[in-house]
Chains A and B, each alone.
Chain A
Amino acid sequence: MYKFVIKNMDLYYGDFHALKNINLNIEENKITALIGPSGCGKSTLLKSLNRMNDLVEGCKITGDILLDNENIYRSDFDVNVLRKRVGMVFQKPNPFPMSIYDNIAYGPRTHGIKNKSKLDEIVEKSLRGAAIWDEVKTDLKKNALKISGGQQQRICIARALAVEPEVLLMDEPTSALDPISTSKIEDLIQELKKNYTIVIVTHNMQQATRISDKTAFFLSGEIVEFDDTEKLFTLPKNKRTEDYITGRFG
Chain B
Amino acid sequence: MKTKSFEKFMEIIFLISASMSIVAIILICLFIFAGGIPFISEYGLSNFLFGTIWKPSNNPASYGILPMILGSLYVTVGAIILGVPIGIMTATYLAKFCNKKLYKILKPCINLMAGIPSIIYGFFALTVLVPIIRNIFGGTGMNIITASILLGIMILPTIIGMSEASIRAVPGSYYEGSMALGASHERTIVSVMLPAAKSGILSSVILGIGRAIGETMAVILVAGNQARMPAGLTKGVRTLTTNIVIEMAYAADTHREALIATAVVLFVFILIINGLFMVVKRRGLN
Contact = CB atoms under 8 A, between A and B. Distances in A.
A83 B182 contact: yes
Nearest to B187: A110
Interface stretch (B1-9, B115-123, B168-176): B168-176
A106 B182 contact: no
Interface residues of B, number: 17
Given A90-B173, A94-B174, A97-B174, A83 B195 contact: no
B182 A92 contact: no
A81 B183 CA distance: 9
A98 B192 CA distance: 9
A88 B180 contact: yes
B41 interface: no
Interface string A78-96: 0011111001101010111
Contact of B182 (A55, A81, A96, A156): A81
Given A106-B191, A110-B187, A96 B177 contact: yes
List of 10 A-B pairs having minimum Cβ-Cβ separation, nearest first: A84-B182, A94-B173, A83-B182, A88-B180, A107-B181, A80-B182, A94-B177, A110-B183, A97-B196, A96-B192
A92 B184 contact: no
Contacts of B195: 97-98
A52 interface: yes
Nearest to B175: A55
A160 B192 CA distance: 16
A159 interface: yes
Contacts, number: 62
A110 B182 contact: yes
Contacts of A97: 174, 195-196
Interface string A57-86: 000000000000000000000001111100
B274 interface: no
Interface in B175-220: 176-184, 187, 191-192, 195-196
17 contacts: A52-B179, A87-B180, A88-B180, A90-B176, A96-B177, A97-B195, A97-B196, A106-B178, A106-B191, A106-B192, A107-B181, A110-B182, A110-B183, A110-B191, A111-B182, A159-B181, A163-B182
Interface of B: 171, 173-174, 176-184, 187, 191-192, 195-196
Interface of A: 50, 52, 55, 80-84, 87-88, 90, 92, 94-98, 106-107, 110-111, 156, 159-160, 163
Contacts of B182: 80-84, 107, 110-111, 163
A46 to B, nearest CB: 11
A55 B181 contact: no
B166 to A, nearest CB: 13
A84 B192 CA distance: 17
Q: Which of B177, B179, B184 has most chain A Cβ within 10 Å?
A: B177
Nearest to A159: B181
A106 B195 CA distance: 13
A50 B180 CA distance: 8
Contacts of B183: 80, 106-107, 110
